[in-house]
Amino acid sequence: MKIPKRILPSSTFAAGPAQGLEAVRETPLSETMFERRHRTPFITENLYKKTAVNLRKLFNLPQDYLVVFFPGGATAAMDAVVWTLNDGHISGLSFGAFSTLWNEKICRSLPPKVKKEFVDFDYKNPSSAKRLDTKASLLLLTPNETSNGIALPDSLLESIYKDKGKNTLIAWDATSCAGARVLPKCFDIMLFGAQKAFGAPGGTCVIFLSPKAAERALSKENDGNIPYFLNLAHAVKKAQAYQPFNTPCNTTIWAIAQACEFMLKLGGIKNMQKLSKAHAAAILNYVKKSTWLEPLIKDAKYRSYTTLTLEITDKDIKDEQINRALAQTKKTNLIDGIEKYSSIKENSLRIGCFPFVDTKGIGQFEKLCLTLDFIYKELKKSKR
């Protein structure tokens, strides 16, 4: 299949690692401080402190919230949070691959004495969330699911926070939406890998900690049951002096810093949210007119606009055919395609609608729609 070059987009639509900021993508690696020692004052002041200050400003964090750069990405940070910040009882909502990873697979390794109660949340039956034990010592929530494109609305996040127990900490994995969604201040811990809306490389995770969360972490410093690497007490003590706990990937933190500055100049997360919503709207407008696609998440109230999942309703067309055609373009931004997540059973496509995919508007998404339309028509011709 030969797709006309004039309609091919130049952006990356993968759900992650997602497209980075143009200025970052074009920067030689030698300029990203990757060879500098992470304890030197130059790096501490000009990279870690500056980035932490800008993140606090971007997210409008209270001044007493701590910004931690944790090595190993979001999964390592999830491990650290459940090991350090549980006080014997964990609860959470499972409704996709990553919320289930945190709630069930990661928590499974905790000692048997830790009480674990997780609820399978069905967005088609929102009352299922009422079974969540909001008095547990640690609640695990995922505002936006990367795997299937489900989002928890602000009203649900706020109601859970309002109902939490006196000694409850609420932890969010906001990887799929941090930087692209204006979130309510309803968390004690928020962690996110920066490879989505921030378009940064992997390897380092950002964790925000409330004073109560930091205090609980410090109380566990000498807890011999917590693996040393996963004990957040060490990271908290270092972060108070704008130091990382372990040797981080400076290139990732540098990319986060560049993204922060760009976002702040463009009006902050509020405008990043507008941009992401415009990207998703461009795709959904095409879907409305198409005869072969519809949103996988039918209720718009629970539909993520950062990673949009589309179900292919034409039984003659398979998602792998679409992705094979995109890969055959030999364009690096399209070779990885717009594949569904591995655990999703439906015949579907997943499109990253993050801010940096097109900072100028929706032109790249309009081209993607033209490309998808061309591929679909060509595939239908071959079926005749």
DSSP conformation letters of 185-201:
S--SEEEEETTSTT---
Q: Which pLDDT value is given to residue 129?
A: 94
In whole angstroms, what is the distance from residue 68 CA to residue 380 CA? 51
Ordered structural domains, the chain, with CATH: 22-265 (3.40.640.10), 268-383 (3.90.1150.10)
Q: What percent of the chain has pLDDT over 90?
A: 89
**Which residues of the chain carry a pLDDT beneath 70?**
384
Q: Which pLDDT value is given to residue 290?
A: 97
Three-class SS state of 125: strand
Four-residue CA torsion sign, 371, 372, 374, 379: positive
Three-class SS state of 369: helix
